[in-house]
Amino acid sequence: MAVSKMAEKTLRQKLIELLSLQEMSISQLARTLEVKFSEIDLALQHVEKSIKPKKIKITPARCKECGFVFRERKKFTPPSRCPECKSEWISEATFRIA
């Protein structure tokens, strides 16, 4: 029964439900909801506006090579390269509704 109720919801509703329960990255959300990465990015932008006064809490991406933290990044998509060491070994940011 829970599966059929989940199927009736929009992508944005599903994102709000999942992120209210746990912290997840964009790739985890895309795999869980079986949609494209780009669809999650676009939907998160709309979710952020629709959940006010709540907010999407972001644990920023981090370079696995030098430890640089992307604190100032406003985009939901992961960075492609570290500005400090130029490594492409970057952990994804995670999101949660708080």
pLDDT in tens, 39-63: 998 999 899 888 989 999 999 999 9
CA–CA separation, 18 and 15 (whole Å): 5
CA–CA separation, 14 and 80 (whole Å): 27
What pLDDT is attached to residue 37? 87
CA–CA separation, 38 and 62 (whole Å): 21
2-97 CATH fold: Arc Repressor Mutant, subunit A (1.10.10)
What pLDDT is attached to residue 6? 54
pTM of the prediction? 0.79
Average pLDDT, the chain: 89
Domain boundaries, the chain: 2-97
Confidence of residue 8 (pLDDT cuts 50, 70, 90): confident
